[in-house]
Structure 1
């Protein structure tokens, strides 16, 4: 088959892959769509795995992107439990692990990311847990019960959300972090301290500036963590959350440009004009920030596929320029973050409200321009925060900090 007779193939039956298939059909595309995923589960959303689903507040049926019949009803061929092992850009084919081959008209890569592994002795024992897939969340959930001793390695978003779930379940929790504060690279010292105080207030043993030297155990099952200074932390389970890496092996082997993810233009097109990428794996050029960004959050997997679908169909105005967004829930603290403020890329943090009350908005500024904003237990403010970022208009920091001044009038 040639040309339009070939289907659009999507590698990665994730939220991004499923939303791309949905967007293609919504745009009126009537050609073939093949959605391929390694997992045996149909596409699902990942935020519940460290939030509502892990806490037992949401049932399994709530995590799925579409009901099971959706794919057949929309003529989407869903290939689950199927690994793609190679891409041939010249022939425009993908090779499957079972030696099958599928020719494509256009290809979209939504391969996501993989958890970084802890490179210390003993890390391959039973009871050493990572969180990426639904079965990972099931294993962690089974370990969270009253009196259980849980060690969390890494105080990033995943580590802190797991720690909150564990404490809510009545477990004893120790968080081990190499930096001086949680989320230090993401939020900076001023805001990171809020999360240190939050978790200490809920009984978490936070240990900063530590290095994990070894995971101890007996008979192949983990029993604790030995730190670089020789001290030990007893643990019935160790949850590792030290970041993720984009799943670029397929793209790199195919000769696509790879640099902290699959590098794309603002249309999400890779260095091959027939191949596109979206979600965690895409390092996409962002016209607002005038640089490439790889955003490891749910909103990109949700929204980028809409742009990718339009670009796959040849629409020249398909540009991904949405402001990065993510959210987190920990205990009684909920937050939303908009924008992008890299370490060393901002001059000051302005607070609207008192961080000690855990009800405030934080703004990251470069000069008199807002780069990012985070609302904590303050709601219905994302639109004005987004407008401050997108407009790039100068702001008065004193008015920005004053809750009496509406954000639209800062």
Structure 2
């Protein structure tokens, strides 16, 4: 199959679309446009091993120039697409040049949310989304005595780990009543609150930030936390402006079906910029490597007229100190919880809804996490009594 496919965004999803086009047998031109001046790289380590100084820059690169050349993927970095014209099938760059396309993929990712706060634009107030953000935070951590993190989600807590490893006094200010409240259950929140306190992090819940100044972070209750570095970890906003201007269906992200197809013919989207419309009409946005990769594979197939829907259970992970949290499925609206434990820092929580297994959170139990993904993908719900018996080998259930 020939033609020219243009991919806007050279992150994990954009690169995977390009690779999958070749795997699917597409022999036309593949142009991969990246706004950043870096070759495609892994983002998760930026807030984990890289920020903690435990991995080198070159370990972040996903694919080197030799691989891209062998696959005939034309990577252009440091270029920005200004608009797309779906009718004319053209992508226009800010420098005035344009690319015609027979197929278009939007993998524009997301940007860190910046709350409308007095002082949020001060130089010592940072966000962590890309490599340049991470380098700036790392540099400031080397010099900071007091670090305040606004937001007790995954990014904020992983930055807190790096700050403590650098010897910084660290405070986390969270508006809700517990950590990672939008993603995990109270049981997991409580475990990680204890973990961070044990490492010297001060946690403050139910605090609304009123302003940021050179003196520090002031909350609505009047508390003032001194800070040489403030990190905003309050979520992300999908980069869907190109899609909005082009008239695509957008609702807190570019709306796609389970094959990555948008509302426009021969236009797909994948990764953090996309929001999946499920069969029941509900919209769901996943910010994970798994969704970027698997959604991109589905989108590439769709560009070639094939339907390979992404249907695997979602999974995600977070590394904090010596603890790895791995989540599969969803604990949302569960009505039963079964625990399997092998130590203070090694356990899994199995979540059921009306007798059906819907999610599993594992702490330092990687084997159980992999098993959970298999169970969820197979739509197999083991009896809660079996799950709750630590002597039972759950792997036997899938044989």
TM-score range, shorter chain: over 0.9
- Whether contact under 8 Å (2:348, 2:368) holds in the other structure is no
1:265-318, Cα deviation, whole Å (9 max, x unpaired): 12110011210011111112456x9854210111111222122212211223x1
1:364 aligns to what?
Answer: 351
2:288 aligns to what?
Answer: 297
> Could you tell me how far apart the structure 2 residues matched to 1:132 and 1:48 are?
11
- Whether contact under 8 Å (1:10, 1:109) holds in the other structure is yes
Give the drift of 1:395.
Answer: 3.6
The 10-residue stretch of structure 1 (65-74 or 238-247) with the greater mean CA deviation from structure 2: 65-74
- Whether contact under 8 Å (1:385, 1:407) holds in the other structure is no
- Whether contact under 8 Å (1:368, 1:395) holds in the other structure is no
Kindly report which structure 2 residues correspond to 1:11-410, keeping only aligned pairs within 5 A, or say none: 11-145=8-142, 148-217=145-214, 223-286=215-278, 291-316=282-307, 318-342=308-332, 345-353=333-341, 357-408=344-395
The 10-residue stretch of structure 1 (146-155 or 51-60) with the greater mean CA deviation from structure 2: 146-155
Q: Which runs of 5+ in 2 are unaligned?
A: none
- Whether contact under 8 Å (1:175, 1:205) holds in the other structure is yes
- Partner SS, residue 252 of structure 2: coil
Count of matched residue pairs:
397
1:36-94, Cα deviation, whole Å (9 max, x unpaired): 11111111110010011111111111111111333233222212111111111111111
- Partner SS, residue 320 of structure 1: coil
- Whether contact under 8 Å (2:2, 2:27) holds in the other structure is no
- Partner SS, residue 279 of structure 1: coil
> Could you tell me how far apart the structure 1 residues matched to 2:377 and 2:257 are?
20
> Could you tell me how far apart the structure 2 residues matched to 1:155 and 1:336 are?
17
> Could you tell me how far apart the structure 2 residues matched to 1:268 and 1:341 are?
25
> Could you tell me how far apart the structure 2 residues matched to 1:87 and 1:361 are?
46
Runs of 4+ off more than 4 Å: none
> Could you tell me how far apart the structure 2 residues matched to 1:321 and 1:394 are?
17
- Whether contact under 8 Å (2:154, 2:180) holds in the other structure is yes
- Whether contact under 8 Å (1:352, 1:360) holds in the other structure is yes
1:97-151, Cα deviation, whole Å (9 max, x unpaired): 1111111101111111111102110111111010011011111111224862100
Give the drift of 1:183.
Answer: 0.8
The 10-residue stretch of structure 1 (399-408 or 187-196) with the greater mean CA deviation from structure 2: 399-408
> Could you tell me how far apart the structure 2 residues matched to 1:246 and 1:349 are?
33
- Whether contact under 8 Å (1:109, 1:275) holds in the other structure is yes
TM-score (norm 2): 0.95
> Could you tell me how far apart the structure 1 residues matched to 2:299 and 2:137 are?
34
> Could you tell me how far apart the structure 2 residues matched to 1:150 and 1:388 are?
41
Considering only aligned residues, what root-mean-square deviation do their CA atoms show, in Å?
1.8
Give the drift of 1:187.
Answer: 0.8
